[in-house]
């Protein structure tokens, strides 16, 4: 059996987020909050800061509230059954089944998107968005599950659930499944992609943000804006101040990038403004990552068709950017903003987009990847 708190954390982090993105953040999170009690006692802002870049921040808030609930109401002990786990904030059927089977050995099936795809293909069924189809798949998943371990040490239901999730994530891929490597190919009725309903088309939006920096003694500070606590997306998180699109007409951004949230692709442009005599700080070691590509023309401005791929970021040389008029004056007056020392940025609950832009521009350090 696995540590229930760590299992809960990993299942929440892995919702809507790739394993490669989660690995480092998971370790950092467990280092900072090694126990459920440590998480319960933390400030929400510290929890959100560690979640920054993973997106879907409601998950972090619910996890934090869940930990507080367990400490306050359940004497710090996570419930052992899926039915009880579902009473925790932010824990749905899937997460409850995953924790109950992996951490406590309960024989209850998980049905996430990956497992659903594997089962549909094994059964030779098309995807169908109906409660009846889902209930039928859930019943099949439950029938396939081995019973609870008779002897201590093993965990057949937890192992089975993890194997099904892994099969969907690594072999039975949404596009071009690796059927020749599949351990259940002999039982599979599809052996390839299955029929799926048409997805909602992605929307494209152009947004602009301001990177404003200033020097205070030897400290470089960045202007950040706090999103409203009632915003539907990322309430209370900090971001680079959004600019009205009228303010950017005729200006050249220092950075263009693409950022996707749910079914919207954002075509993002970052404009730079410095206090007089101060240019954005560019870390020496990151210059290669953000220098403009030699001989490459900057893409044309601002049409919806100009959406760039993530790895096709164009960054202008900040020293060549001419500030035509004070962009700071174009910011709406009512928002809550503050100047923050660049060295403190990594401890703040930044939106994923703000983190990405600040790292690409070299204002914020990129975490070192640990291998092994
Ligand atoms: Fe998926 Fe192919 Fe395996 Fe069937 S044989 S479960 S389609 S990987």
Is residue 330 annotated as a catalytic residue, yes or no?
Answer: no
Other C-beta atoms closer than 10 Å to the C-beta of 253 total: 22
pLDDT of 324-354, one tens digit each?
347 888 888 888 999 999 999 988 999 989 9
Could you tell me which of 12, 352, 17 has the C-alpha nearest to residue 169?
Answer: 17
Whether residue 70 is predicted with pLDDT greater than 90 in this model: the reply is yes
Kindly give the number of the ligand 1 atom that is closest to the alpha carbon of 194. Answer: 7
Q: Residue 212 Cα, ligand 1 centroid: separation in angstroms?
A: 51
Of the candidates 165, 164, 186, 168, the residue with the CA atom closest to the CA atom of residue 178: 168
Q: Which of 177, 186, 193 to mutate to test the pocket of ligand 1 (most atoms within 8 A of CB)?
A: 177
Average pLDDT of the segment spanning 166-185: 95
169 alpha carbon to ligand 1 midpoint, in Å? 12
Burial class (CB in 10 A: 0-12, 13-18, 19+), 161: buried
What spacing in Å lies between the alpha carbon of 167 and ligand 1's midpoint? Answer: 9
Nearest of 63, 144, 152 to residue 105 by alpha carbon: 152
Both structure tokens of 27: 């370790």
Closest-CA residue, ligand 1 atom 4, reads 191
Whether 179 is in the pocket of ligand 1, judged by its Cβ within 6 Å, is yes
Residue nearest to atom 2 of ligand 1 (CA): 179
Whether residue 274 contacts residue 342, with contact meaning beta carbons closer than 8 Å, is answered with no
Cβ of 37 below 6 Å from ligand 1:
no
Reduced to 3 states, what is the DSSP secondary structure of residue 340? strand
Least confident span in 53-57, 316-320, 337-341, 362-366? 316-320
What token pair was written down for 316? 């202008």
pLDDT for 138: 94
Judge whether residue 142 has pLDDT over 60.
Answer: yes
What is the spatial distance between Cα 316 and Cα 138, in angstroms, rounded to a whole number? 52
Residue nearest to atom 1 of ligand 1 (CA): 172
Smallest CA-to-CA distance from 211 within 364, 313, 322, 358 is with 358
65, pLDDT greater than 80: yes
Give me the residues paired with residue 265 across strands: 204, 260
Query: 318 with 255: CB under 8 angstroms?
Result: no
Binding site membership of 184 for ligand 1 (Cβ less than 6 Å): yes
CA distance 32 to 369: 18
What is the model's pLDDT at position 368?
A: 58
**pLDDT tens track for 254-281:** 999 988 887 789 999 999 876 444 444 4
Global pTM value? 0.65
36-52 mean pLDDT: 93
Catalytic residue among 11, 116, 225, 273: 11
């Amino acid at each position: 059996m696995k540590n229930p708190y760590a299992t809960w954390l990993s299942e929440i982090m892995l919702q809507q987020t790739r394993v490669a993105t989660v690995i480092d953040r998971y370790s950092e999170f467990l280092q900072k909050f090694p126990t459920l009690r440590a998480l319960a006692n933390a400030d929400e802002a510290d929890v959100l800061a560690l979640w920054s870049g993973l997106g879907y921040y409601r998950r972090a808030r619910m996890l934090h509230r869940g930990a507080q609930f367990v400490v306050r109401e359940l004497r710090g002990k996570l419930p052992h059954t899926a039915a009880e786990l579902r009473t925790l904030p932010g824990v749905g059927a899937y997460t409850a089944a995953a924790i109950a089977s992996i951490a406590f050995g309960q024989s209850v099936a998980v049905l996430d998107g990956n497992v659903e795809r594997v089962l549909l293909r094994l059964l030779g069924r098309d995807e169908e968005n109906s409660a009846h189809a889902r209930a039928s798949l859930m019943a099949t998943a439950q029938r396939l599950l081995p019973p609870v371990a008779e002897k201590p040490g093993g965990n057949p239901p937890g192992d089975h659930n993890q194997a099904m999730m892994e099969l969907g994530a690594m072999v039975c891929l949404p596009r071009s499944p690796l059927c020749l490597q599949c351990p259940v190919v002999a039982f599979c009725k599809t052996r390839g992609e299955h029929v799926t309903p048409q997805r909602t088309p992605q929307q494209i939006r152009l947004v602009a943000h301001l990177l404003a920096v200033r020097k205070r003694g030897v400290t470089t500070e960045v202007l950040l804006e706090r999103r409203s606590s009632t915003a539907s997306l990322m309430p209370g998180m900090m971001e680079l101040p959004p600019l009205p699109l009228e303010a950017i007409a005729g200006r050249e951004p220092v950075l263009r990038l693409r950022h996707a949230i749910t079914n919207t692709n954002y075509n993002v442009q970052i404009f730079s403004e410095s206090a007089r005599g101060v240019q954005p700080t560019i870390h020496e070691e990151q210059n290669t990552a953000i220098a403009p590509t030699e001989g490459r023309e900057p893409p044309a401005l601002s049409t919806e068709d100009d959406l760039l791929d993530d790895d096709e970021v164009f960054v202008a040389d900040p020293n060549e950017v001419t500030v035509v008029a004070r962009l700071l004056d174009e910011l709406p007056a009512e928002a809550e903003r503050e100047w923050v020392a660049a060295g403190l940025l990594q401890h703040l609950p930044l939106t994923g987009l703000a983190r990405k832009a600040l790292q690409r521009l070299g204002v914020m350090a990129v975490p070192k990847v640990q291998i092994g």
